[in-house]
Amino acid sequence: MPNSGRPSYTARTGEAVHIFRTAQLDFGVGSGRLTIASDDPIFIDAVARDIGQLARRPEGDAALRRGDALGHPVKIVKPEPATEPPNAWITPDDISAASSANAFIGKAEGGGATRGTGGGCGSTIVYDPADWPRPGDPDSPDSVAVLLIGLQQANTNAEGRSDPSASDWGARA
């Protein structure tokens, strides 16, 4: 019996990455969970290229698919102003939700402790592909590796299992 409905489809590793303009005029990637928030076409092109290369790597494909399953949004932005030396970082949209349940986050007003809820949340990745690898640093990762680390941490934030007391914000997903 023929199927009259459109089948659901998931792109295979290495297929084209769907990029579109969102209502907020950012650039959405894939299902729209990832957005590139910039009006700099060179930056947008470089980030899209990194995402395309990431999708071809098994660990990158796994991080992208895991993030899609979790569903929390991830915004990618360029550091403004540029950092010297170049740097990259990830911030959760809600530090309590990103942190593991009952993890100590800090002191609350009135002397009590602020603790993680483990609820999960979206994140913002701040990096510039043009900064990676760092010139003259043979141990510097390339921009795709920097983005992978950011997406893995964003997934950890989305799962609500980050450890804000760890120097690198903890677990790689």
Closest CA to 21 of 35, 4, 7: 35
Containing domain of residue 69, as a range? 21-159
Q: d(Cα 25, Cα 90) in Å, to the nearest integer? A: 22
**This prediction's pTM:** 0.81
Residue 21 forms beta bridges with which residues? 27
Domain count, the chain: 1
pLDDT score, position 25: 62
The mean predicted confidence, pLDDT, of the chain is 83
Q: Strand 123-126: give its sheet, edge to edge.
A: 19-21, 27-29, 34-36, 74-77, 123-126, 89-92
Judging by DSSP bridges, how do beta strands 27-29 and 19-21 pair with one another?
A: antiparallel
pLDDT score, position 167: 66
**79 domain-assigned:** yes
How many helices (H) and strands (E) would you count in the chain? 4, 8
| Per-residue model confidence as pLDDT tens digits over 115-168 | 889 999 999 999 999 999 988 888 989 999 999 999 999 999 999 999 877 766
pLDDT score, position 163: 85
